[in-house]
Amino acid sequence: MRRTLTTRRKFLTATGGLTIAGLALSGNATAEETDVSRSTFKLREGTEEETTVYETVADEDGPTVVVVGGMHGDEEAGYRAANYVREWAIGAGTLVTIPRANARAVERGTRNGPDGVDLNRQFEVGERPGTELAREIWNLVRRYDPDMLIDLHESRGIYRDDQDPGLGQAVFHSQQQKAYDEAEEAVRYVNRNHVSNPRYLFKKSLATGPDMPPYGLLIYKASYDLGATSHLVETYEEAGGVDKRVGWQLQIVRQLINDLLSGDSDEEVDDEPGGDEPEDDTGGDDSDGDAGEGDGSDGDGGDDGSGGEPNQGPTARIETNPANADELDLSSDDVVTLDGSASSDADGEIASYDWNVEGLGKIANGGGSGDTVDVTFTGCGEMLVTLTVTDADGATDTAQVTLSTLPPIRE
């Protein structure tokens, strides 16, 4: 296994705050400089199954997390999200990413490669994995002995009797109490802030375990053979465009790993009163996830109150056609184009645009996950449009615009 050291330089990494719903929504991550070294190496080198492993190591010691995508080649949001994760900066520990575990399946866009073998059925607990590819993946995982393993998938059905492939949007976690807590926190965060349609709320569920089908899942082997907490993330292929699903995957992975790899240990939090808050901020619950927030449509990320530190989260911005449509009295049959492409991210790119319309309006084209949408009225009155952008690090920001028709009757 040849290793290539590709980069070693200072990265600005967003740490802290990201686990706190309100801060994340405002893009208020504090930033600090972190040294990471990056290297890559190949599995199944020189074969048609060759695939690249990306290792990111922070200067500060800490836990190890392995993130896997592309076990199934037709589950696009999973391997696309992993392709972003491989570039993440971390404050502590080690992040190992295999974005295209079954590279041939990903190339073909099919669940399995040409051999017809389902890669995610080759990892029997306590046994030697079933194929060369599975063995090399497992040897790698075993060598890192991770504290957490995350496997990114997509599902075709939704909550159909716990039967694969009817899994819906879900995080399936391994048997440890800690895994339960990790999944609970991630699902609650994403549901509260980023899922507008109740049908697509993520579920958290204990994975069935190695004694029941489906057998041979990597998350079982990682949890039973190595003691890692393990999570299998599923987005539902009809829940929105692929960008939107990539955004959800990134948000969930970010939540799952943030405690482990941000470098913000509990001691440091204690040393900094007024800094980070506990994640379970159930008291004084900030309902920032709801529309109607006061920060309006300007998407200005500058007033973040984080002590003037650079803001590395994205900034959401909505432009309208006709211009300044929020100041016009529109007709109920007007079509307004909303353009989010002026949204920006200081240290990367926008991975996901997610549009949500409340009130008397609807999205007229597409699934609402491109950078531009057309909206139309469904009656006379107001609609509130919210754009949530997620950057490649899984941080988010929102912008809003209210559109109204001629007022029917004024009181």
CB of 75 or CB of 288, closer to Zn ion = 75
- Output the smallest distance, CB 76 to Zn ion, in A: 11
Both tokens assigned to 107: 């190339």
Closest residue to Zn ion, based on beta-carbon distance: 153
Both tokens assigned to 105: 């399946």
- Output the smallest distance, CB 71 to Zn ion, in A: 6
- Output the smallest distance, CB 205 to Zn ion, in A: 15
Q: How far is CA 373 from CA 337, 381, 404, in A?
A: 6, 20, 17
CB of 249 or CB of 398, closer to Zn ion = 249
Q: Which string of DSSP letters, residue by residue, matches 81-95?
A: HHHHHTT---SSSEE
- Output the smallest distance, CB 75 to Zn ion, in A: 5
Q: Is the sign of the CA dihedral 19, 87, 149, 261 positive or negative?
A: negative
- Output the smallest distance, CB 352 to Zn ion, in A: 20
CB of 72 or CB of 317, closer to Zn ion = 72
d(CA 235, CA 332) in angstroms, rounded, equals 35
d(CA 241, CA 355) in angstroms, rounded, equals 11
Query: Interface with Zn ion by CB under 5 A: which residues?
Result: 72, 75, 153
- Output the smallest distance, CB 86 to Zn ion, in A: 19
CB of 32 or CB of 154, closer to Zn ion = 154
372 close to 339: Cβ distance less than 8 angstroms: yes
Torsion angle of the four alpha carbons 238, 258, 314, 281, in this order, in degrees rounded to the nearest 10: 90
CB of 135 or CB of 156, closer to Zn ion = 156
CB of 75 or CB of 391, closer to Zn ion = 75
314 close to 300: Cβ distance less than 8 angstroms: no
Q: Is the sign of the CA dihedral 41, 42, 45, 48 positive or negative?
A: negative
